[in-house]
Structure 1
């Protein structure tokens, strides 16, 4: 599968709990054994590190990260570590959350994820998130059935990812290639959406903002027709027997309500589209 020109760099940030197979997954994404893999759930990654490779004429940087909640770091130390992730990943092309498919998802794992989201301070984690269910070689029944009975915490994470997920089986070479293709599909989709945004102009680029501006204009119009300054002669515009404000004020108020409703719908659709497959 071709991923694009060799002039671009795709940055893939891999996050998750200690023992969830992050380093093994990073090696698979790179196509080389760059990262040390622990045994028996023991941590081998204590600070962020990255590896680079050129696959199918595409420059790929994969960032392996430690579990920021397992070492008793205070928030200042965690912020310092995540700042290093941002230095390596900049605005990540894809964020892969490693979750074991053979054990129950815990509140501790959700805490790790939420801590990263909170300290990252922008939406690039959620916008580019895909969940990797690791240890796929231990999967004894279809994952979809397990997800139907999954805990609320895991369903919440999957919702953030727009239900983008895959199973990773390190012992299956075909699956390893499938994993790479899945992650790169996320990268390419976000790239296309970004280009579409850059190529749009004017009000269509930010429909929510346009609706808000229109509401402000209508509010100013409502003020004008409700209270006309003494130096403005209403009779100059309308027949003296017509109450200008009584006629148009309800119309403007109704228009404001409709436009506010449209703005809410546009914002929700925009947020949903960022997480939905094209």
Structure 2
């Protein structure tokens, strides 16, 4: 199977890991901005890399303190439309450093947004490669951490490393050049595309996953009681807000009754 001459790639990771710098290193030019505003939205830029047309989509940092969870999720999921019909590859960007609970939370969040199937289309790219011990390859660094080893395994072993500050110029060690690592990255993506039979992560896949998530989130008696308890506490502080919130509880309760009625009807039909 021939690999496509046009590649669509989305970068994911927390704020400060070097997603924008990595995107610039891949394209070989500083087209991605670092302004606070532009870091809060998806940015799509295209260029020629080793004779191929490559579109990169940079996304806002995950685990953001400046934006609500739903707002951030909506913006990041919108990256799929930036490279319709969908990205051939996701780059999960991490620093060359110990994997903390925050990094684990980032991986969890990515899988919650897109489903764990995203890892079939993902390559892990480490930045700050200069932090590697002299002579060490990124695979050796990964092997020191059970969590990293498990993540790379789920990505079928795909990983590479760059250094957006020190590896721009020619080095004595070819391995420690962004040019070598970008070529290695594109080769890994090509192998992944062949393995995925030329497919990409599509809007349909995302929609189906979100529908599954919505189906799992159903109101329960316990959740209604919890909301009601919260309302009673709020009433003491803001009496005027009680009416609107109470209507919300009634709406949820009605949904629960309809759900129970539908389940009862389904049970009776199956008997």
TM over 0.5: yes
Q: TM-score range by the shorter chain?
A: 0.5 to 0.7
Q: Give the match for residue 70 of structure 1.
A: 64
- 1:125-204 correspondence runs (5 A): 125-141=118-134, 142=136, 143-150=138-145, 152-170=146-164, 171-173=166-168, 175-195=177-197
Q: Distance in 2 between the 1:66 and 1:148 partners? A: 29
Q: Distance in 2 between the 1:180 and 1:138 partners? A: 18
* Contact 2:93 2:124 (8 Å CA) reproduced: yes
Q: Give the match for residue 47 of structure 1.
A: 41
Q: Distance in 2 between the 1:43 and 1:156 partners? A: 35
3-state SS of the aligned residue for 1:45? helix
- 1:1-278 correspondence runs (5 A): 8-37=5-34, 45-71=39-65, 73-90=67-84, 91-101=86-96, 103-121=97-115, 123=117, 125-141=118-134, 142=136, 143-150=138-145, 152-170=146-164, 171-173=166-168, 175-195=177-197
Deviation at 1:160, TM superposition (A): 1.6
3-state SS of the aligned residue for 2:53? strand
Deviation at 1:153, TM superposition (A): 3.0
Deviation at 1:139, TM superposition (A): 2.0
Deviation at 1:4, TM superposition (A): 6.5
3-state SS of the aligned residue for 1:96? strand
Q: Which deviations, in whole Å up to 9, do the C-alpha atoms of 1:159-178 show, x marking residues without a partner?
A: 22122111212322452222
Corresponding pairs, count = 187
3-state SS of the aligned residue for 2:32? coil
Q: Distance in 2 between the 1:134 and 1:12 partners? A: 17
Distance 1:196 1:116, change over 3 A: closer
**What CA RMSD, in Å, does the superposition of the two structures yield over aligned residues?**
2.7
* Contact 2:15 2:62 (8 Å CA) reproduced: no
Larger Rg: 1
Q: Distance in 2 between the 1:196 and 1:89 partners? A: 16
Deviation at 1:196, TM superposition (A): 7.7
TM-score, normalised via structure 2 length: 0.60
Distance 1:48 1:158, change over 3 A: same
* Contact 1:14 1:22 (8 Å CA) reproduced: yes
* Contact 2:26 2:49 (8 Å CA) reproduced: no
* Contact 2:3 2:198 (8 Å CA) reproduced: no
3-state SS of the aligned residue for 1:59? strand
Deviation at 1:86, TM superposition (A): 1.1
Distance 1:193 1:145, change over 3 A: closer
TM-score, normalised via structure 1 length: 0.59
